[in-house]
Structure 1
Amino acid sequence: MELKNIFPDFNAMWIRWSAYEISDALNGRYIMPSTDATSLPYSSTENLQELLTDALNLGKAVYQKSDEVERECRAFVQKHGLLGLHKSDGSRVFPMKGGNISPARKEHSSQEYGEELSHFTAEFQKLYLHFLATRGELPEQLPKHLQSDLAMLTTQSIPSGLSYRLTAGFPPQMVWQPDDLIDVLRLAYGLAVTDTAAPLKVCKNCGTVYYNPHQKSEFCSVKCRNYFNVKVFREKR
C-alpha cells in the first residue's frame, strides 16, 4: 500500500526554517535555525516517500563516515526540519550551569530550538542499520555501539507521540496528530520496510536508497539505468 494512502487524515503540521547552521553552543555541537531564518510551517506527510528515502540516505552517509555528513544534514533539515527529539513542553526545561538553557531544551517551534548533531545523526544511522539488516548486508562483526543502536529498534518498544482524535461526523474518522517529525519518520519506515511489495530499493548503479513498489525496479532513475547499461556494454567489449 502506498504510504500516502495509509492515513488520509494524517494531520502532521511541522515547522521548518528557511536557513540552518551547525555551531557550537554550551555543551555540544548543534544544528539549529539561523538567527535570520523565517519559519515555514508545512505538513510533514505531504511527501512521506521523500522524507523516508532522504533519511535513509543520510543514515548511509553517517554509517559510512562520509565527509559530506554535515552538508547532508543541513540539506535534510532545509527540506524537512529538525526531528523533534527532545519533547520540551516548558515543564521539563532545566537550566544548565550559569543559568543557560541548552538549545535542545527549548520549545520545538521556537527559533532557539536545536538538536545536538551526534544525537540527530544517530537517529538516521539506526534506521539505516535496520535497513541493512533486512537486506542481510550487516557485517558479521558490528561494533558494540552500533549493535546497541540496532537493538533499540528491534528489541525495545519504540516511544511514540502519535496521538489522535475522533471526529463527530458520519462516518467518524480518526485524525492523527503526531507530536514531532521523528514519530512520522519511524512510522513511515516501519510501514515501508514491512510492506510485502518491498518498496525500498537500492539503486544498482549508484547505491542510493529510493522508493518504488514495482518489483522489477533496479535503478533510481532513467539516467542511472542508462549509465549502468553503457558501463556493462563497454565492459563486454
Structure 2
Amino acid sequence: MNQLFKKSSSNWIRYDRYEWKTDAKGILYITPCKDAKPDLYNPLKDADNMVLSAINLGLLCMKSETSKETLKTELMNFIQKYGLLGFMTALPTTPEFITYESVYLPLNHFIKEESMSTDEYLSYFFPFEPISFAKRNRESMWNITDIDMMAITMALQNKPQAVTMSFQKEYAERYDWLVEEFKDWAFTFVTSFLYYQDLDILDEDQKRLYRQGMAAFGGIAPTYHVELLDRPTIVWDFHSLLLQIQMMFSFMLTDEKSSIKVCKHCGKAFIASRPNAEFCSPQCKNQYNVYKSRSKKMDAMDEDDD
C-alpha cells in the first residue's frame, strides 16, 4: 500500500483550535476558532493510525449508550489531530465543481438532491458567515483577505479552488454528518470482521446480507495525473481527508499483509502483529485473564451453594 501511494498530492490543513457552534436552525457544526492557526501536514505519513482512530471513533458512535457529549469530545480530539473531513469536496462528482455551472452529486447519505447551484451547495458549509465569493455561470470570483488563508492558497495553489476554500476559518461541518460517516466506516469494518470470523457457521442468506452491506461501501475515487520524474510516475490527487481515510481503509481491508482485528477485551480495532493475536495490548490481555479468572471463581461458588 505504501508503494502504491508513494507519490500522492495528499497535503491537508488542520487548525490548532476548533469549536462547536449552532446555527439559526439549531444544527450543530464544528469549525475553526477565529484565532486558530493552520498547520500543513501529510496525513498519509501516519495512515494506519489515522484509519484505526477513525474506525474506533465509529465504533464509539455505534454504541447506543455513548452520550452526545462524549461523542463531541472524541470528534473534537480526532479533528484537532487530523483536521475536518472535507465533505465539501468529497461529495460532488468532481472537486472542480467551482468551474461548472452547477454542482452534481452522486447518491449519498447527506444531500438528497442530484444537482444544485454552487451558491446553494456552499451554504451547507458556510452557515455562519458568507464568504466573499460570487459566481455567474462558469465564471467565479473569490476575494481573500485573511493572511493565513493567503499563505494556504499559495502553498496549495495546485489544488482545486474548492479545496482551498474548505480551509477557510468560516468553513464548518455538521455534527450529525460526521457521526454518520464514522459510523459507516465502523459498520464496514465490523461487517468484514464478522463475515470471516463466522464464515463457517453462516448460512447463505446471512452471507448474502453481509455481502450486500459491504457492497454499499464506496465513493468517489481519487483522481491522478502523470509526472515525468526519473520515469513516468502516477501521482494520486486526494482532495479531501475523507477520501484519504476511505482509500487507505479499503486497502487495509484487502491487503493480505494487513490484519485488522477487534480486541477481545476492550472491543477496539487494532493491527495484529501476528495471526493469532486477540488483544490490542498486554494490559488488555491481563485484564481479560483477571476477569475470566474471577468469573470462574464466581461460577464455582455458585455451584457449591447449589
Alignment correspondent of 2:16: 18
Where do 5+ consecutive residues of structure 1 fail to align?
138-146
Taking structure 1 as reference, are residues 232 and 156 closer, same or farther at Cα in structure 2, changes over 3 Å only?
A: closer
Q: Distance in 1 between matches of 2:266 and 2:121?
A: 46
Q: Distance in 2 between matches of 1:216 and 1:103?
A: 51
User: Aligned-pair distance for 1:207?
Assistant: 0.7
User: Aligned-pair distance for 1:114?
Assistant: 0.8
User: Aligned-pair distance for 1:59?
Assistant: 0.8
Alignment correspondent of 2:144: none
> Retained in 1: the 8 A contact 2:268–2:280?
yes
Taking structure 1 as reference, are residues 221 and 129 closer, same or farther at Cα in structure 2, changes over 3 Å only?
A: same
Q: Distance in 1 between matches of 2:122 and 2:224?
A: 34
Taking structure 1 as reference, are residues 156 and 132 closer, same or farther at Cα in structure 2, changes over 3 Å only?
A: closer
Counterparts in 2 of 1:81-120, with a 5 A limit? 81-87=83-89, 92-94=118-120, 101-102=126-127, 107-120=165-178
Q: State the SS of the aligned residue for 1:23.
A: strand
> Retained in 1: the 8 A contact 2:126–2:170?
no
Q: Distance in 1 between matches of 2:128 and 2:79?
A: 16
Q: Distance in 1 between matches of 2:218 and 2:71?
A: 29
Alignment correspondent of 1:44: 43
Check if 1:34 corresponds to 2:94. Answer: no
User: Aligned-pair distance for 1:44?
Assistant: 1.3
AA matched with 1:94? E
Counterparts in 2 of 1:103-182, with a 5 A limit? 107-136=165-194, 154-155=215-216, 158-160=219-221, 162-182=222-242
Larger radius of gyration: 2
Q: Distance in 1 between matches of 2:270 and 2:217?
A: 27
Say what the alpha-carbon RMSD is for the aligned residues. 2.9
Q: Deviations over 1:207-234 (max 9, x none)?
A: 1111235212211122212222333344
Q: Distance in 2 between matches of 1:164 and 1:104?
A: 33
Where do 5+ consecutive residues of structure 2 fail to align?
90-94, 100-117, 132-164, 196-208, 298-306
TM-score normalized by the length of structure 1 = 0.81
Q: Deviations over 1:133-187 (max 9, x none)?
A: 22337xxxxxxxxx9xx86x62476223x12221213322111121010111110
> Retained in 1: the 8 A contact 2:188–2:217?
no
TM-score normalized by the length of structure 2 = 0.64
Q: Distance in 1 between matches of 2:274 and 2:8?
A: 25
Alignment correspondent of 1:9: 7
- In terms of fraction of residues, the more helix-rich structure is 2
Q: State the SS of the aligned residue for 1:46.
A: helix
Q: How many residues align?
A: 220
